[in-house]
A and B are shown apart, each in its own frame.
Chain A
Amino acid sequence: MIEICNVTKYYKEPGLFSGKKKKVLDDVNLNLDDTENTVIIGESGSGKSTLGRLILGIEKPNSGTITLDGQSLLKPSVRQGKISAVFQDYTSSINPNISVYKAIKEPMIMMHRSFSEEEAEELLVKVGLDGSYLGRFPHELSGGQAQRVAIARALSTNPHYVLLDEAVSSLDVSIQVQILDLFLKLSEECNVNYLLITHDIQIACYLCSRLVIFNSGKVVEEIDRANVSCLKNEYSRNLLDSIITI
């Protein structure tokens, strides 16, 4: 379980001598269970990606703690191999100079473990590609394929949690559905839980059963899809009402 306790994060405002600080996360408390997929929904600038970066240990909170099973996530040994991530921009998330096989192997090398071609091929099959992709380079892949490779890489360390930061947002709707179905399948096969960060509520509902709505650095609403109760917050009501379906 990932526990986020009273986390606050500031960024410096632009300008060399401005000295002003902007609060992006304001006293956030959140528990991420390892039994269900959770999604953080928010508009741009609401602080949702910052929270994602804090969970990955890329940045430190200014105050508050984030723990994984009781241990602080700031220690690399605690988070390594247990939390991985898939990002939105598939063209820049894989090093363009290395082949697919090397890309998938990268996290394992970081953890000083071996990873054979057979294992890599097995992973590729799991994400709906095949062994022939091992020798290819990122520029030879389409958006959906590149995102599948990124997913295979995220899964190579057998993580408990995979953070998906707008992982399907830049794909076509039909590819989005394919990738989301793949996520659902992998969640059962590999026993991983997702923490999805997105602005798209329809995608959020497709993948996750617990919805957390974020607005200007604060959690304003938590919705359990299986047990819907009244919305407390004006903002989240507005947000849900503004969605257009067909």
Chain B
Amino acid sequence: MGVSVKTDGHYLINNVSFKLDKGECLGIVGESGSGKSTVIKGILRLHNSKAIGYDGEVLYKGENLFSKTPKEMNEVRGKEMFMVFQDGMSAFDPSARMGSVCAEIVRTHLPVTKSEAREMICESMTRVSLKDPEKILDLYPFQLSGGMLQRMMISLVLVLNPSVVMADEPTSALDAITQRKVLDDFIKLKNEHDSAMIFISHDLGIVKKLCDRVMVMKSGEVVETGTAMEVFEDPKHEYTKYLIDTRVRLSKNFKVLMEGLCREKAS
């Protein structure tokens, strides 16, 4: 798969190629502005087509997504490829109750009635440990916390069962404890479902914990790809080394503190 996006002949991302197998989880890491989000938005063709054009091809089950019509693309989005956004608050319609928004999303892709859709959502919500699903479905998005909205999106993934899940910094806007819980939900999703996953994050710790393979991006280009073990234990590219080193330096003092706490607990 190769994607290039350009505006005014200027390439935002250039010559990005990767392959995603069934059931595999690919992590894309890089600093802000490196083009991580542009890649997955490019795959789903979510950019304004007047401003941004694409070169290359995205092959999904042998078909090129770039040659599909907008209508065909709409069928791919959601049912085949599902995107989990960073900001849950703006991902759901703010003027409708969660229940009706979610039921609408499900009914767009599956031939079910409203009440069946609601039942399916309730069932999957309990699986991501959202308590009292009926009550939550009667609330508006602004009445839910960021973590709950994020888990609502994951429960939609469980209902629609897409082949590819794309998550764009899904845990970055959350508090530490909630972040951990949402990450655990993602790990569960990965283990129990055979969907492939593309997980974008600037947090190397999370990517190391979740992903099988890692792709490192810098200013629109891929600098290194490999299994998570390879990239984190034995980085080849200077930039990857630099990213990992700064991360290790930042958490150095924290690790010392945690070791101190462990010792204290043991004694």
Q: Which residues of A contact B (CB under 8 A)?
A: 43-44, 172-174, 176-177, 180, 199-206, 223, 225, 228-231, 238-240, 242-246
Contact = CB atoms under 8 A, between A and B. Distances in A.
Q: Which of A177, A204, A206, A245 has the most CB of B within 10 A?
A: A245
Interface of B: 31-32, 175-177, 179-180, 183, 202-206, 208-209, 232, 242-244, 246-258, 260-261, 263-265
A244 B206 contact: yes
Contacts of B258: 240
Contact of A239 (B176, B203, B204, B264): B176
Contacts of A229: 264
Contact of B251 (A202, A231, A240): A202
Given A174-B246, A205-B254, A199 B32 contact: no
B205 A245 contact: yes
A243 B203 CA distance: 11
Contact of B255 (A200, A238, A242, A245): A245
B248 A246 contact: yes
Contacts of B263: 228
B243 A173 contact: yes
A228 B261 contact: yes
A146 B232 CA distance: 32
Contact of B252 (A43, A200, A206, A230): A206
B206 A206 contact: no
B205 A246 contact: yes
B261 A238 contact: no
7 contacts: A43-B175, A173-B204, A173-B247, A174-B243, A206-B250, A242-B176, A245-B205
Given A228-B261, A245-B255, A176 B250 contact: yes
Given A174-B243, A174-B246, A228 B257 contact: yes
Contact of A172 (B32, B176, B253): B32
A160 B263 CA distance: 36
Contacts of A225: 253, 256-257
B249 A246 contact: no
A208 B180 CA distance: 24
Which among A173, A180, A231 has the highest number of chain B CB atoms within 10 Å?
A173
A238 B177 CA distance: 7
B208 A246 contact: yes
A230 B265 contact: yes
B31 A174 contact: yes
A246 B265 CA distance: 22
A228 B202 CA distance: 30
B246 A205 contact: no
B246 A177 contact: yes
A229 B209 CA distance: 29
B261 to A, nearest CB: 6
